[in-house]
């Protein structure tokens, strides 16, 4: 705009000079032209008197303008054009830019916040789904509403997590079916083997055969039970029972002679058959891998089985029981299915099994049962 204003002032100066040479008068039609005007800036006047045609841009005052001047003899012919309208246009443009810039920034901030909120929400959903999968809920899926694309990393992440979960679920289901099928198929030959062992004549070899057949039958039943727990098809038969009395009856039925210490009047809501399975496995684990005396304590809604052996291995306390792995050589040989079944049955009846090592030595397995809700 300054360059255009200077060019216009020079063109006006040329036109005024030509008219002045013809008519001897200075045309002031819209140009504010004059000879030796006292308002001409000193620098411009000095350049004109030096014989140069030049321009001067004055934007500092209340009346912004552009000057053009040239010498006419010993006088200075000057032309002044006001830039007030141009300044007003620039100020209006500034106001418009500021207003629309504020609107654009506000809209961009809102859009950015909405986009960030959506991305954050999608990531939280993915994290929650991943935690559900790690907790054993293999049916959990993110189900992102948008198909994956190269420009939507969140959708790609959701698709990858869902694909991983589906693949993991298929593999685990295949392993569960394999375990169940193997255990089921072993039942028939083991039944025949058990019948044949009963027909053998009495003696030490016969006792060894019968003992191994019984161990194989127990292992087969344990495998079937683990397969049912993995498939989550077990349904408990819950009812209210006084815990102390229930535990005493379980010990009598399972042939364990350990005394029961603690209160006997707390009422819990549980499945007696499954609780019997849990305590039987915990007591068998304490006898097999621990050392006497084995104690049973009833405290409120909890039942604790404690031995005085080497305690649980550190890996078992950190990672939980693992099938076909007892965790430490000093805990003896075994399949590692007892604790697995105990924890699985506890989950079915809504209980929780806590495994810790006592400060003075020995392993402690505590079954926390849900209390029977009171009336109202």
For the chain, 376 residues long, give each residue's pLDDT as a single digit of tens: 778 888 888 888 888 888 877 777 777 666 678 887 887 888 888 888 888 888 888 777 677 888 888 888 788 888 888 777 777 888 889 999 999 999 999 999 998 888 788 778 878 888 888 888 877 777 778 777 666 665 777 778 788 888 888 888 788 777 777 767 776 777 777 778 778 877 778 888 888 888 787 777 777 777 777 777 776 667 888 888 888 888 888 888 887 777 777 766 688 888 888 888 888 888 888 888 888 788 888 888 888 998 888 888 888 787 777 665 554 454 444 446 778 888 888 888 888 888 888 888 888 889 998 887 755 4
Contacts 24+ apart (CB under 8 A), 369-372: 369/243, 369/268, 369/269, 369/270, 369/275, 369/301, 369/302, 369/303, 370/268, 370/269, 370/270, 370/301, 371/266, 371/267, 371/268, 371/269, 371/301, 372/240, 372/267, 372/268, 372/269
pLDDT at 96: 92
Q: From CA 6, how far away is CA 20, in angstroms rounded?
A: 21
């Amino acid at each position: 705009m300054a360059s255009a204003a200077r060019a216009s002032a020079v063109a006006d100066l040329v036109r005024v000079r030509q008219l002045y040479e013809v008519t001897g008068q200075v045309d002031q039609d819209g140009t504010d032209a004059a000879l030796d005007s006292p308002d001409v800036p000193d620098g411009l006047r000095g350049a004109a008197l030096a014989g140069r045609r030049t321009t001067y841009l004055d934007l500092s005052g209340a009346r912004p303008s552009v000057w053009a001047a040239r010498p006419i003899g010993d006088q200075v012919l000057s032309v002044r054009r006001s830039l007030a309208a141009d300044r007003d246009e620039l100020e209006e443009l500034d106001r418009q830019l500021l207003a629309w810039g504020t609107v654009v920034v506000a809209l961009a901030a809102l859009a950015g916040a909405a986009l960030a909120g959506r991305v954050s929400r999608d990531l939280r959903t993915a994290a929650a789904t991943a935690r559900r999968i790690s907790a054993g809920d293999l049916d959990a899926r993110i189900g992102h509403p948008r198909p994956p694309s190269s420009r939507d990393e969140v959708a790609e992440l959701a698709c990858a997590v869902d694909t991983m979960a589906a693949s993991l679920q298929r593999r685990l289901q295949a392993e569960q079916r394999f375990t169940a099928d193997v255990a089921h198929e072993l039942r028939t030959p083991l039944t025949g083997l058990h019948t044949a062992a009963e027909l053998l004549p009495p003696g030490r070899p016969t006792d060894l055969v019968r003992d191994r057949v019984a161990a194989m039958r127990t292992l087969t039943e344990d495998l079937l039970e683990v397969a049912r727990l993995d498939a989550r098809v077990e349904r408990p038969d819950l009812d209210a029972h006084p815990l102390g009395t229930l535990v005493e009856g379980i010990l009598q039925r399972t042939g364990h002679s350990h005394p029961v210490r603690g209160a006997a009047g707390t009422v819990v809501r549980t499945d007696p058959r499954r609780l019997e399975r849990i305590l039987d496995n915990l007591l068998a684990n304490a006898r097999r891998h621990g050392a006497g005396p084995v104690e049973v304590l009833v405290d409120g809604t909890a039942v604790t089985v404690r031995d005085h052996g080497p305690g649980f291995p550190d890996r078992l306390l950190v990672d939980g029981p693992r099938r076909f792995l007892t965790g430490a050589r000093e805990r003896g040989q075994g399949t590692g299915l007892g604790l697995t079944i105990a924890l699985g049955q506890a989950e079915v009846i809504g209980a929780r099994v806590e495994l810790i090592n006592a400060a003075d030595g020995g392993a402690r397995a505590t079954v926390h049962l849900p209390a029977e809700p009171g009336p109202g």
